[in-house]
């Protein structure tokens, strides 16, 4: 039981390049989330999904897109990376409903030059 995994662990991009971050969970969770973590700002929600085929915007969605084609996977895309997107990205998942504990992945450290 791997829990929540993320790939890649580290990535350096040049401004304007694109990339996709992959989150996978093997706990049969319905809800999945993408956060970014910046110094002094806590965790901020980018996008989330309440089930396969559904996505919604969070607090800071600009510059990101997501897809959830399979229940166990949640992809975060950056179409044209900007230095402001330098951050640590965490994926999380939970059953939902009254079972709210969110389980986090190990994070992806992204640097945009």
To other proteins, the closest distance from the beta carbon of 50 in angstroms equals: 5
To other proteins, the closest distance from the beta carbon of 22 in angstroms equals: 16
* Of 13 and 35, CB closest to other proteins: 35
Other beta carbons within 10 Å of 37: 14
Residues that bind other proteins (CB under 8 A): 31, 33, 40-45, 48, 50, 56, 58-59, 90, 94, 96-98, 100-102, 104-107
Q: Which two tokens stand for residue 2?
A: 């791997």
* Of 1 and 100, CB closest to other proteins: 100
Other beta carbons within 10 Å of 10: 10
To other proteins, the closest distance from the beta carbon of 31 in angstroms equals: 6
Q: Which two tokens stand for residue 49?
A: 């999904």
To other proteins, the closest distance from the beta carbon of 104 in angstroms equals: 4
Q: Do 78 and 19 meet the contact criterion of CB atoms below 8 Å apart?
A: yes
* Of 39 and 69, CB closest to other proteins: 39
Query: What is the full DSSP assignment across 55-106?
Result: EEE-SS-TT-EEE-SSTTEEEEEESS--GGG-EEEEEEEE-BTTB-PPEE--
* Of 19 and 45, CB closest to other proteins: 45
């Amino acid at each position: 039981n791997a829990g929540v995994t993320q790939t890649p662990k580290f990535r350096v991009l040049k401004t304007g390049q694109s990339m996709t971050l992959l989150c996978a969970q093997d706990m049969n969770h319905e809800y999945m989330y993408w956060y970014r973590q910046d110094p002094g700002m806590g965790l901020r929600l980018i996008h989330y999904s309440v089930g396969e085929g559904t996505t919604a915007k969070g607090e800071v969605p600009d510059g990101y897109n997501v897809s959830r084609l399979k229940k166990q996977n949640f992809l975060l895309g950056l179409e044209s990376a900007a230095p402001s997107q330098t951050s640590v990205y965490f994926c999380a998942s939970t059953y939902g409903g009254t079972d709210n504990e969110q389980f986090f992945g190990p994070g992806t450290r992204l640097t945009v030059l």
